[in-house]
Structure 1
């Protein structure tokens, strides 16, 4: 193979592998081993059983839609009836408290109704185990904001007993069965004669919609911050929730680039619910730690006596004497001092200019020294003979 042709081949192979990786089919299943016996999973009200899946456990990320296109089940048909039954696959959004929190109004989508074929006669009892792959006429699109789903096998009409759900030899999570009396879902093992490992596999493809992320710029020591989103050119609308209910009406925004003033220091969960220009829905969150605003308080001009006569210099000024005034009772802050040229000064400093020097006190948090507030004051050094009685000398230690 010529070198340039080999390069083309490798490049083409990389493209094929990348495309296959992005669009590879995923199987949702908790079954282990081959199908085995079957037990009743239907009532006079019709059949209702299924499996719960955490999508992330199967490689579906928070940035992926999941396009569910088929489900496979195994069962034995009921014998001795004229009807051979009809099935429908329903997919619901659920939460961590399932099955207690099951809500039928959170239906994401359903398959078409599927009629079971007539069992060829003659047959022996029990009827043979059948495997049925139900390919959806229209795929069920599970939005990226959904983390957990329940895939239900149900009867669209109340046809009574017609199906024994087959199980497998093992499983990684319990199956669920709708109680015939309460019509509420419960773990299948809690019912006598009900298998705990219903055979059910769901097939689909993840569709990466975008790696949206929340960016923010904190206004340093203040309580305000500005926000934006990556890939903002793909966004049609966005609704922000700043996790700050004390801000009342200001807790939300529909601006693409909002600013928010937090009501107090603390840790907040920021949520952006996005509708893309392709009408896809994405919900993303981030956390932001906000500190209370730093305040600095003014310091009057300070006067000190010369350490050595006629030098205009005092080497005995101690900054700890003004810290309580600058902080005004705030705790957990550090103060640094700088001269007029921005050079750092020691905690005990001398006046370097004849008569007066302007000193800047910078107040910051130890873990975030880049965010600070400043206040300036003058240090005036005089000869003891020139000091006015109304001027309070500070920092002089003899």
Structure 2
């Protein structure tokens, strides 16, 4: 490390979905700054759009190098071996190819009618019980959990069990490192049991396809198979389950934009992209990348062996890329956001998440006229001690027919 003070990162305690104000100053004056996260060695923090994209896509920056280092991170626990997020191409490409066919845009579109059916049934239950309803428990969680369970081949009735395991995966301070390790071990044991079942009785699901790739084709190790299955289960529902209530919150607090969307539901796909750009779901994204050689970045030299952390929310508000970036504009058609990452580790489930978010918004707006806070926005309970920001409890009401 060569210049400037080292700041503690995150810079402040997140407040609802407010943007960290220091990001704008750093983008302008110090796009690459030194930070120290709660765990691990000091790092560089990239805040500009183009710098973030470069770090995430340039082969001079490595994820695999983090395995042997004290990686800068927001939690004490470090995940098990074999994760697709901890390797570089070509190993990463090999693992990604094993599952990417399940998440292509074409395959995901085949799942849309089923997602619409699930969303419709969830809203049916909300209406039958009457307002107010709990948006997270009654809709935002069960929709993506049911879809990913059916795709992967996991019993949806076990969702209460793996919800806490997912929370542990994303915990910063909610669980101790020891508790996280215990929950992760339980998840691994659970997935190993399901894999054993598929070895005895194969089915038409993604778990069975992974077993074939492991046992018959020798294209991945046992640890890699387990890590892939765990990652798909957790990541396959967590982003959508968090973003559904986030999106609803943002729309309800931007009534003019909500009115625009209600008047033209054809804007839903564009709205999803703008909301992905606008909502600061996590403070940093994708794990640290280590420079394999000296790289000029953001006006400084990142020396070989130094880690860089990227601030995805900051990149999505870069003034040099987006006009009036702090304004929500559901008709915006500027540069693609980096809410799903970028480069080789771009979220492989992004097409699925996009489809589910589109289905969720359209269903809620079509079926629940006048959807609004039950009480006020102060009644929302926000997650604490987690790597992602989202409501934990979100009471809503709507106009009776």
For the aligned pair, the TM-score class normalised by the smaller chain equals: under 0.3
The structure with the largest alpha-carbon Rg is 1
TM-score (norm 1): 0.17
Larger relative contact order (CA 8 Å, sep ≥ 6): 2
Q: Which has the higher helix share?
A: 2
Larger strand share, 1 or 2: 1
| Superposition TM-score, scaled by structure 2 size | 0.17
